[in-house]
Structures are given as structure tokens and as C-alpha cells.
Structure 1
Amino acid sequence: MQCPATLHIDLPPEACETAVFFDTLSWSFSGTAVSVAFTPPSGTVFADGTHDVTLQVVDDAGTTHSCTFQVIVRDYEQVLACRNDITVTFGDDCAIGVEPLQVLEPGLFGCPDDYTLELRFQGQVVDSIRLEHHNKWLIATARDTVDGHSCWSSVFVGGDLPPNIACPPDAVIFCNEAPLPELTGRPDTTACRPLLSLTYQDVVLKQNCSQPYAFIIERTWTATDVEGHFSSCTQKIFAKWLSGEPILFPPDFDGNQLPALECNDSLSFEEMTDPERTGVPQIAGNPVTDLCEFSALYQDSLAQGCGGERTLHRAWRVVDWCEGVVTRDTQVIRLVDDKPPAFELPDVLTFSTHPTCDDSLRFPPIVPTFECSDFEVTLF
């Protein structure tokens, strides 16, 4: 049995290992071979170095014959050279990893695992590139750990480093809801430097009754860091119509549904019955607005009672201009005056007679502390 000759393999540039196949090797066996096997098998990946391979043959009598040959894998014979200048930028994680492959000239070096990289900034060795190196130059030295050869390149740390911003998903709200970020969402941001501001600007695109939404807001979010770098993204907010949603009219203040209003000498009747205090029609939990093509109108009818007592009938009309539907309701607001007047007077009044002995005295006016209507003062 004659084994294959030693097999020499030269690695290509930038390769650390290669697959070796034995299908075309030349060897001989004088008997009848029933089975043939290589250990390790054909197609095995070999790294740089010398490797033993065993060829095993079983003949027709069941006898095993074997021999050993060598596979010698040689590293690429390099002409080590570095690039002149390279530029690197920070990634989304605000880090830069410089590898020997970025510094070495392509095709002129062997296995990348055989090289180390040393970084120097202003003559001092640094373990990594940091934010303080932004827009500055460093020296990167690549060294072959096998033969000690080295070369170097100038490395510029560039890039604008704007913040990263990811807008919240598009949102759908009712057209009478306030599109606050607490409802529609805020963007996710990451930044290499502290953020100075996170702002947004809205553009409202009004729609008509034939379209699926009352209006669409294009909200542009902008994240700005302390050095003025910024990034933006756009979120869309779709405002749906109110048609078909139930209308909730304001309650009665009549002593049945809600307590009647009590006479109040610090507020006028008009102030007490202002819709801002007594309520307005609502749909989906919010007042109707013109943006929804809805209007809430009212007309008051006032009845005067005894003293300061009054009853207000407020006739509400809610108009859906898109559907041409008018919904009505009457709100009753009653003001009661069921407390007697309260006033202040001195406990003791002292008078001196007039030199002419007049029989008239002038009493000081009373000081009312509570009263909602006109009153008379009687002395007895």
C-alpha cells in the first residue's frame, strides 16, 4: 500500500483555515479494496500548521491496511501594509470598535486572528474610542503576533452623532379628544450626549364629511442634544367622526337629579349658570367641537321666583352637520334663596343730644354678610 504524498496547502489572503478534500489524491493498493476511509475525513477544515491524516483500506478478506500522510497548511505570505487614513463613526450604541481589518490593506495580510491593534491619542495608549475623541485623530498600530511586524494608520473619529428617535405608532382618537402625548404616545430616544429637548409640531389636515376621518394630524417629533444635533420622525394621528356616538346632555340642577344651586353673594347668577360650571353636551366623554362638524347651541328661558329664587330652562341643540341630525334636550337649573339675611351691627350705639334738642337720630347702616336679593330694614 502506498500512501498519498505530503499535501501542501497555501491559505489565501485573510484566511485562517481552509477545507481540504482527498478525492483527487494519488495512492495505490495491491489488493482488492472493499472500503476506503480517511481520518479525519475528506472536507475537514484545517488551520495553519501540520496535520496527520490516516488512510485506511479494508480488503476482500476483511484485513485492514493503513498508512499516514501529512497535510501542511501554510499561512499567507504577507507584505504587511496599513491604509493611509481611515474614518470611523459612532454606532447607535454610541460605541466604536476598531478592528485590525479596518487598518490593514485588503489582500495583503493573513489570518486576522494573528493581529492586534493598539490605539494612541496624543501619544497615550487608550483602550477604546470615546466621545471625547469625536472630531479628532488617533494613531492605530496593527501588529502581527507571529513575526512582530507592524504598520500604522491615522484614524479620524467623525460623524454628527445625532440622537436616535423612534416615533410612537400612529394613533386613532375621537375628533373631540385633546391629542396630548399622554394619549397618543411619546417617542423612544437614545443619544450619545444628554438630550436638550424633545419637542413636537403639529400640522392639522382637515377632512370633509365624505372622508373616513374628521382630520389627520401629522406630528413631527424632534430630539435635540446639548450640542445642537437633532433627529426627527413623524407620527400620524387620525381623528374619527362622532356620528352615531351617544350624546350625554348636562344634568339638571333642580333638587332631583342634582342639588339646586344655592344663593351665593360672591357670584352673579350669570356666573353661576355659565355652561363652564353647569356643563355642556358631551360625546365620548368630551365636549363637541367644530372640528367634528358638530355644534352645541342653547337658548335660555328665565322664570323669577320669590326673593332671589330663579329657575332657568336651557334648551340645548346638538347639530351633526355631516348627517343633518339635530338632537334636543332641556336642562333645568334652579337657584334657591332659602336663607334669611345675615348682617352686622354694633352691640351698643351711643348718641348725644343735639344742642337744639332735636328729637331725631341717624343710625349707621347695617352691614349685610349674606343676602342674595333686595331687602328692607325695619327698626322697632
Structure 2
Amino acid sequence: MDESCEVWLTPELLLTTAVSDPSDFAIQIQAADGTPVPNPISTPWLDQPLTVTVTQLSSGNACWTTVTAHDALKPTLVACPALEVACDVVPDTLPFPQAVDNCDGEPAVTLELIQTLQPDICAGTVELVRVFSATDFSGNVSDTCQQLIRVLYPPLPIFPADVSWTCETYQADPQVVEPAASGEVQVHAGGYCPYTVSWSDETVAQCGNTFRILRTWTVMDWCSGQVITSGLNGTDNTQLIKIVDNTPPQITPPAFELVADQQGANGCVSQGFVPPAVVTDCQQGVSIQVFTPVGELIYANGVDGSAGGQVPPPGLPLGTHPITWLAIDACGNVAAQTVEVEVHDLTPPVAVCDAVTEVTLSQDGTAHVPAAAFDDGSHDDCCIDHFEARRLTDACGDSSSVAFGPDVVFCCADATAGMQTVVVRVYDCDGNFNDCMALVEVTDKMLPVVHSCPADTTITCDYYFDALDAPLQTGDLTVLLPFGFPDVEDNCLTGVAGATFSVDVDNCGAGTIERSWYITDPSGNGPVVCAQTIYVEHVSDFVVEFPADYVGQCGDTLP
């Protein structure tokens, strides 16, 4: 195979006789399985037996032979440049030189040996020689090349800077104080380097559970026998690692309400229990104080507010009040949180009703009674706000009377229906309520009032005998209606019953008719009397005419 990993088969190469005209010959190449092989032969057909047939075109004569293409060219190492490396570099890990070959795209490069020329780093450098060879896939081996390696004396180390961690970070991962997280010395060690590294810690407690670590790094230069205390960039071999707490505690106040449970000088108050807040901090010993408008809590544990406490005397009145939590950790970090807390009255009042209440109807036949009128000493630990009442049944045609309202209405129907039951609801100032029942006796004490009676009047005996006598004989009083009716007013009376009458008229048509009304309302108020006299006069307005004188004969009939 040539430099391009190809070989061109020609008649001259294949035939044993001289060839005068190469163009008179055709060459056919086949693999062992009969696959046609192009000419020139290339890498895919390397080292494979191929059958080659040569045919003379002019005569048609042909012959064949077996051909195997081989690569006899060895690979070449491109270059082995000298290298300067750090003292902690392992020579075997350095990059190998590159090799090229006519057929193999990646000849194998082999490190044959490493030879030490100058082994002492304390002299300034260590010198090594690496010897390489390359082999292609046909087994051809290149010439060797030698690479000079100069191992340099290391520079001064760089010591880690001081570092601070919060106590929250340290509690989450205590390994943060280790060199992997807090910093290591940047130094060349191992290999041919003359440095060894170690460290020691001194721990100093601070406030609470915070602390400091004084870490001393020891870098020994075995060439000089000295401990290196100053490094590059002005660093020194002492590192300060601090665990600090600069964060105030986190306060989460509880959700709660206070219930009025005491009677104070100006109403009910609460000296109830205030539950503890949730306080988080990286410190264990957090002092908690809780303040109210009437003073600091009386703590349940006798020390601080971590377990909650009672509102101190005189207590908190009804309403909204600020409660403040103050938390101080062991490092003096302070946090405060204030919430508004509502003091409620959850105890309903004691409702006390009159056993029996008498209600008198007014002039319009009704009585509007305020709900508070039925109270007989209702009381509450805090305060009474208002009263409402309702009827148990409706007797007045008003369906709203059976719903609670500021007053109750009674009517004339109640005055004759016996005792009425009223439900009284007592509300305190926080909306709590309680009920009691009262019996109500509704009375009507107003007499009917007669504004006018029919006036006395006079009729003739003719009118009496023509229009009144016969009906009155049968008790028909309607004939007297034209003579008037009393004008009567009463709060519960809806009409006036018929009058009584008496007739005293002689045969001559002279006399009187007496009409009387005795008015009593449904509650029995009365009677109120109204009377009328109808005078019947005898009238003599007739004329007597006597007949004329008469002279007749004996035997005449008198006219």
C-alpha cells in the first residue's frame, strides 16, 4: 500500500510477459465471496485474498491470479515537545504525542519508559525523559521519540480566607466548618513536591451556641525545613471560622380570643389565658415576654412567656387590645410582634320576666308595650344592651306580632281573651341573649262616651196613630229610627245596642214615648245612659156643622 493506503493493479504488475499495449487488457477484481472490488485496492480490502482476472481484449484470452494487499509503511510520531509541569503532576497522566499513519487513522501510541535524569526537586527542578512509540493496526512500529519533562519547584501556597457561617446554616449542616466547605490551602503537594499540609483547630465558645474556630494551617517545606506561615496574596496560615447569630427570633403569635370572665369596676373584663407564641431561633435559650395594656402576663411557668400566661388584674375590658410578644435570644437579638386581640363576652345574660303584667288599652283600642316593660331584673356579667319581645300567639290579625321586635301590640280582642303569653329576649352588649316568658293581663278601663243623645221631640196624635201605634204594639222599634240615635264613642265598642222604650198615650192621643239606651262595652265598662222623650199631643182642630131647621108634614121621612 502506498502513502494513501492504496495500490493500483496494472497488466505489467500482474502478467509475466512484457506488455506492449496496457490498454488492450482489462482487469477484474473479486473478493472471496464474489463481491466486485474497485481498482485501486484501498483500506477495506487490506490483507484479504482477492481474485484478479486479466483479459486481453483483442484476443479474448484471459488468466487469473490471487492477490493480497499489505501495508508495510510504519506510522510516524508527529512531535514530542518538551514540557514544564507542576511538581504534583503524575508523569503518566500527561498527554501523549500524536501519531499519523497511511492506513490507520489512530495508531496506538505507547509510553515505553520514563527515565529520571535529575530526581531532586530541592535542586530547583526534576528532569524526566518519556520514550514513546506508535503501532498501526498492521503491526508496523514507528521510530521512538523522547520527550523531556521538567518538574518545577512549587510556588508559595494560598491560605484560605476567614469565613463566617450563620448558626442556622451550621445547625442544618455541621460539616460546613470542615475544610471542604470553609476553605482549604491552595498548595502543590504530593508527587515531587516538597510540601506537606496539616491543620489544627482551637474552638472558643461565644454567646449561646455560637463559637469560633481558630484554624492553624501547617505547610512544611522539606527542602528548607521551614514551616510556611505567609503565602501568596498576603495570606497567612491562621484562619478564623465563625459561627454567628445576627438574626432575631421569629415570632408566630397564636390565633385566639379572650373571654370576659370577671366583673370589673367599669363592667366585665377578661383575665383569661394567653397561649404561647411559636418562637423559632437557632438558640435554645430565648427569653420571651408578653405585654398587655394592663401589664405583663402572669406567666404559667413563673419565668417567661414561653408557656403563656394570664392577663393581670384589673383585666382587659370588652373590645380590641394589642398584645405584644418580645423575644430576646442568647446573643441579644431582639424581635417583637404585636397582634390585636378581641375580648368577647360569651356568657348569655340571665333573663328575668314579670310574672304577670297588666296592660291597659289606650283610647284607640291598642296598647304598644316596650319589650323592656316586661323585665323584672334581668342582668349580665357585662352589660345589658336591649330587649326584644314577641307574642306567643296572634289574636289581633297581625302576623308580625309573633316575631321579635322592640315592642308588643295588644288589642281589644285580648281584653276578653284571658291571659296572653309574651316571650321576652334579653341581649347583652356582645350579642348573647336569653329568653323568659311573661303573662299579660290586657284590660280596658275606659267608659263609653256619649257625645249626644237624640233630642226630645213632639209629634201629633194623628202621626202617632197613623205611623207608630200599631208597630209599637208588636215591638217593632224600627219606626222610631227617624227620631235619632245616640252618638257614642268607645275604644272597643263597635256599635250601640237597641234602646228600651215605654209608651204612655191615652185614648185622646195625648202622652209620651220614652226611649232609653244603657251602653256597656265588651269589658263591662258602663252602663252609660242616654234617654229621649217623644211627646204626643192631642190636636182638636175639627169643625162642628149643625144641620138647618126642617119643617115637614106628618108622615114625612126625616133626612
Q: TM-score, normalised by structure 1?
A: 0.49
Higher relative contact order (CA closer than 8 Å, sequence separation 6+): 1
Larger fraction in helix: 2
TM-score calculated relative to the size of structure 2 = 0.36
